[in-house]
């Protein structure tokens, strides 16, 4: 069915179609519309789920962990300080190998108080063991949420998945949305290590030095195995529903001399910038990185890279730029732009390319 929706409503609609047994909810701008819409689905009978309004984000994730540990599908959503507040429980969710799905509306962290888009919240959680995907449109927010449940619950993965969508720039923007009849695309949730009251046993007990590292390795093994599961899931989604995705969405990259690499809505904006630059005789392309964990293998050859980070690791640099440099030995032109919702247009992005200085770092809007 074709309609028009916000990114938040797209996520909520996908959750309804995925049929989780438990939804734990605590409001925070700009995510609140997701859990409000789900509450409305439950209230009107459009969705059958145990909807648990909790007193904090920490409790929200704790509720999902408890539900998932009993073997049922669970979902929550948060943003910014809410995500940081549940940090401890993110480690518990991944460590317990629980396939929880969560939407995060990317928003800056204070101080000062800011409710607009930035990736620092989710990227500060990059080492928790969660898979992370960054979406760039309302349609992709819906599709990625559906796929997240299938990926998380796959027997070779059994890790939680975080869907990230830019606050306001995507959460509240209206775009066309085509929903689907998912049929059996998402199999029934089966968690082999779920609590069985008929056969009680220890759960989450102390692990000594002789055993703990094995649990850490098992998370890494699952993260590596998720690469194939993601590819298979995206291939099956394309076969059934006609929309194809990849870990990195490339646009006019084949013959490009310079490629703009970004995540989220800035990655979509970069496609327009590439068209502008092409009209000027500059062979530019765009590579929008979707999956940040697991980090994708990317072959840029000898192309120049302009990497835009809507985040920063203080004392280190733009996180995406440094990840690319560490993983592939690439030395990009690192642009820090869009922090706290700072407006960045396709004209601005085209300017970054024109004025690029390989190996340098540039803060948009800041004078030295």
Same domain (yes/no): 54, 124: yes
Cβ contact 84:55 at 8 Å: no
Q: Does any domain span residue 368? A: no
Whether residue 196 is contained in a domain is answered as: no
Q: Is the pLDDT of residue 69 over 70?
A: yes
Read off the pLDDT of each residue in 55-76 and give the average, rounded to a whole number: 98
Give the domain CATH number at 9. Answer: 3.40.50.970
Residue 184, number of CB atoms within 10 A of its CB: 7
* 309 and 236 inside one domain: no
Flag whether pLDDT at 7 surpasses 90. Answer: yes
Spatial distance between the Cα atoms of 307 and 301, rounded to a whole number of angstroms: 15
Q: Residue 19: which residues within 8 A CB-CB, separation 6 or more?
A: 47, 48, 49, 73, 186
Average pLDDT, the chain: 97
Give the pLDDT confidence of 226-281 residue by residue, as tens digits: 999 999 999 999 999 999 999 999 999 999 999 999 999 999 999 999 999 999 99
Q: Could you tell me if 150 and 37 lie in one domain? A: yes
Which residue in 283, 287, 332, 277 sits closest to 307, CA to CA? 332
* Residue 329 tokens, joined: 């030995």
Q: Same structural domain for residues 306 and 327?
A: yes
pLDDT on residue 194:
95
Do 108 and 142 lie in one domain? The reply is: yes
Beta bridge partners of 261: 287, 307
Q: Is 56 found in the same domain as 8?
A: yes
Residue 90, both tokens: 């993110």
Please give the residue range of the domain that contains residue 316: 248-363
Which of 104, 92, 99 is CA-nearest to residue 151?
A: 99
Q: Are residues 215 and 103 in the same domain?
A: yes
Closest by CA position to 352, among listed 309, 302, 298: 309
Q: For residue 212, what pLDDT is reported? A: 94
Whether 131 is covered by a domain: the verdict is yes
Give CA–CA dist 87/161, Å, rounded. 14
Q: Alpha-carbon distance 348 to 331, whole Å?
A: 21
Task: Give residue-wise pLDDT tens across range 279-315.
Answer: 999 999 999 999 999 999 998 999 999 999 999 999 9
> Where does the pLDDT of residue 43 fall: very low under 50, low under 70, confident under 90, or very high at 90 and above?
very high
Same domain, 78 and 169: yes
Same domain, 254 and 236: no
Stated pTM of the model: 0.97
Q: Are residues 174 and 64 in the same domain?
A: yes
**187 within domain boundaries:** no
The predicted structure's pLDDT at residue 1: 86
| Residues 153 and 35 placed together within one structural domain of the fold | yes
Give the total number of structural domains in the chain. 2
Given this model, what pLDDT does residue 368 score?
Answer: 61
Task: Please check whether residues 220 and 113 belong to one and the same domain.
Answer: yes
Q: Which two tokens stand for residue 237?
A: 């989604």
Of 189, 215, 241, at which residue does a domain stop? 241
Note the pLDDT of residue 34.
Answer: 98
């Amino acid at each position: 069915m074709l309609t028009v929706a916000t990114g938040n409503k797209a996520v909520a609609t996908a959750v309804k179609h995925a049929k989780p047994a438990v939804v734990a909810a605590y409001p925070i701008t700009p995510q609140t519309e997701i859990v409000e819409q789900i509450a409305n689905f439950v209230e009107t009978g459009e969705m059958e789920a145990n909807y648990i309004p909790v007193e904090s984000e920490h409790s929200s994730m704790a509720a999902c962990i408890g539900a998932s540990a009993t073997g049922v599908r669970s979902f929550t959503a948060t943003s910014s300080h809410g995500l940081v507040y549940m940090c401890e429980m993110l480690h518990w969710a991944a460590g317990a190998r629980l396939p929880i799905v969560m939407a995060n509306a990317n928003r800056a962290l204070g101080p000062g108080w800011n409710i607009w888009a930035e990736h620092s919240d989710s990227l500060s959680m990059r080492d928790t063991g969660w898979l992370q995907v960054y979406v760039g449109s309302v349609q992709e927010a819906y599709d990625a949420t559906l796929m997240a449940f299938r990926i998380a619950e796959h027997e070779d993965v059994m890790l939680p998945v975080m869907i990230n969508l830019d606050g306001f720039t995507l959460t509240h923007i209206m775009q066309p949305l085509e929903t689907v009849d998912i049929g059996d695309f998402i199999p029934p949730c089966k968690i082999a290590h779920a609590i069985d009251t008929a056969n009680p046993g220890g759960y989450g007990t102390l692990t000594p030095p002789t055993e703990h590292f094995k649990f850490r390795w098992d998370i890494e093994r699952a993260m590596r195995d998720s690469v194939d599961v993601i590819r298979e899931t995206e291939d099956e989604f394309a076969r059934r529903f006609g929309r194809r995705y990849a870990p990195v969405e490339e646009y006019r990259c084949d013959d490009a001399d310079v490629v703009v690499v970004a995540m989220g809505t800035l990655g979509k904006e970069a496609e327009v910038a590439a068209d502008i630059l092409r009209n000027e005789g500059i062979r530019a392309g765009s590579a929008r990185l979707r999956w940040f964990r697991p980090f994708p293998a990317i072959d840029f050859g000898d192309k120049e890279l302009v990497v835009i980070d809507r985040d920063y690791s203080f004392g280190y640099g733009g996180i995406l730029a440094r990840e690319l440099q560490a993983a592939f030995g690439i030395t990009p032109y690192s642009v820090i732009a869009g922090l706290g919702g700072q407006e960045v247009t396709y004209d601005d992005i085209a300017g970054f390319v024109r004025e690029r200085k390989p190996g340098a770092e540039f803060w948009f809007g800041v004078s030295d």
